């Protein structure tokens, strides 16, 4: 038996905090250094923001998959729930 949804939810929240932090760091980096270093820094910063947004959305999608699987089967998917012996 699993902990009904709490572990996947904690994982989702951790991924979302991480992606938001990376996105904010990219945006702040652009704001602080764009005037001195020019367009390459803006491109890198915007790329960071876009990738963090993609990871944020992907984490939510994956959470939905795992959560629905847990509710449907009452089992953990993959190798995490299997015994080693």
Write down the domain spans for the chain. Answer: 6-73
Q: Are 13 and 56 in contact (CB under 8 A)?
A: no
pLDDT tens-digit profile of 11-66?
888 999 999 999 999 999 888 887 888 888 889 988 999 999 999 999 999 888 88
| pLDDT at site 83 | 46
| pLDDT at site 12 | 85
Q: What is the token pair recorded at 20?
A: 């938001």
pTM, two decimals, is 0.72
| pLDDT at site 35 | 80
Q: Quote the distance between the C-alpha of residue 36 and its chain's center.
A: 31
| pLDDT at site 34 | 79
User: pLDDT tier at 5 (50, 70, 90 boundaries)?
Assistant: low
Comparing C-alpha atoms, which of 23, 24, 20, 2 is closest to residue 12? 20
CA dist., res. 72 & res. 77, Å (int): 11
């Amino acid at each position: 038996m699993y902990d009904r949804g709490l572990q996947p939810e904690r994982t989702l929240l951790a991924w979302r905090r991480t992606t938001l932090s990376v996105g904010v760091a990219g945006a702040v980096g652009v704001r602080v250094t764009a005037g001195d270093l020019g367009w390459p820094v803006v491109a890198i910063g915007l790329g960071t923001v876009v990738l963090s947004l993609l990871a944020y959305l992907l984490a939510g999608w994956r959470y939905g998959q795992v959560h629905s699987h847990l509710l449907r089967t009452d089992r953990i998917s993959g190798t995490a729930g299997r015994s080693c012996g």
